Amino acid sequence: MPTGNLVLTRAPGPGLQPFVDTLWAVESTGDTTPAPTRREHVLPTGQMHLVFRLAGGPLRLFQDVGDGEGHLVGCSVVGGARSAYYVREFSNPSSSVGAQLHPGAAEALFGVTADELADRHTSRDDLWGREAAWVAEQLMEPAMLHQRIDRLESILAARVSARRAINPLVPYAVAQLRTGASVRRVVQASGYSHRTVLTLFRQSVGLTPKAYGRVLRFQHVLEHVSSATALAELAIAAGYSDQAHFSREFRAFAGVTPTEYRHSAPERQHHVRVTPPGR
C-alpha cells in the first residue's frame, strides 16, 4: 500500500481566533518504509506558522536547490512570514501538528515581534526554552489527530498574553490590502504617518505593507495559474504590467516560472517538488 497522508484541520476556539488562523495535524499512512529524501520549494503565504515534527526527523533547509548539505533547524520550529520561497527536505513517514498564525501572534505567543522572525525558521527552544521539549512530549501522547490538535490548542491558549493585544490598525491594513488597496491609500485612511504604519505593520505581520501586498497578489494568481488558458490575460487581470513582469515576480516567489509550475502539477498548491542538480 503506498504511503499517503492523513490530514486534519480546524479553526481554533474563540479565545485563540485573534491569533491563530488554522490548527492542523498530519500523519503518514500505509507503508512506513522510509522513502528517499526529496526537496521542495515551499511558497510564501504571508503568514507565520508553527510546527512540531513528532516523527520524520528535524527540519532540514537549503540555501538553494544546489546546496548539497543544508542545515538542520530542529523538530519544533516557528516559520516567520516570508517574501520568497524556501527549500526544504521532506520524506516519509512523518507526523506533525501545528498552526497557521494571524498577525500579532508572535508577540502574544512568543514575546517577540514578527519582524524578528521574518524570512527564517527559528527553533522553538530559542523562544520557549526548556518548555519546548515538554510541549513536544505532551503532543506526542495522544494517538488521534483531533486529540493532538485539542492538546495544542490548550497549550497555546495557556500561553496567550492578553496584554499584547494587536493594534487595530494592523487588521484594518491587512483587510484593505486584501481588497487590492494601495499602501498609500491605507496610510491616508489610517490617520497615522507612513513611518508609523510601516513600523506597526512589520512588527505584527513580519513584512512591509508593500511586500505583503505583493505576496497577496501572488497568492491570487497561484489559485488560477494551473487552470488559466492564457497567462498573459491572467497577468493583466492581476495587475502586472505585462507577462514578463508576471513571470519575474512569480519566479521570485516560487523559484520556478508559471509554465514550470503548471508542468510540475503540485499536489499541494504551496509545495513544488524539485530535483537537485546531478540527481
The answer to whether 72 and 118 have CB atoms below 8 angstroms apart is no
Same domain for 117 and 39? yes
Domain for residue 122, yes or no? Answer: yes
159 and 174 assigned to the same domain: no
Answer with the one of 135, 164, 193 that is the final residue of a domain. Answer: 164
Q: How high is the pLDDT of residue 93?
A: 62
Residue 132 pLDDT: 84
| 120 and 231 both lie in a single domain | no
Residue 226's pLDDT is what? 85
Do 68 and 106 lie in one domain? The reply is yes
Q: Are 145 and 94 in contact (CB under 8 A)?
A: no
In the chain, which stretches have pLDDT less than 70? 1-4, 30-37, 91-93, 162-164, 276-279
In a domain, 104, yes or no: yes
Would the pTM of this model clear 0.85, i.e. be above it?
yes
Does 249 lie in the same domain as 217? Answer: yes
Domain, as residue range, for 181 = 169-274
CATH of the domain at 43: 2.60.120
Asked whether 177 and 216 are in contact (CB, 8 A), the reply is yes
Identify the pLDDT of residue 130. Answer: 83
For residue 279, being part of any structural domain is answered with no
Domain boundary among 100, 129, 164: 164
Cα–Cα distance for residue pair 52/133, rounded to 1 Å:
10
Residues 252, 150 share a domain: no
- Determine the residue type at 272: V
Inside any domain, residue 258: yes
**243 and 212 in one domain?**
yes
Residue-level pLDDT at 2 = 40
15 in a structural domain: yes
Q: Please tell me the total count of domains within the chain.
A: 2
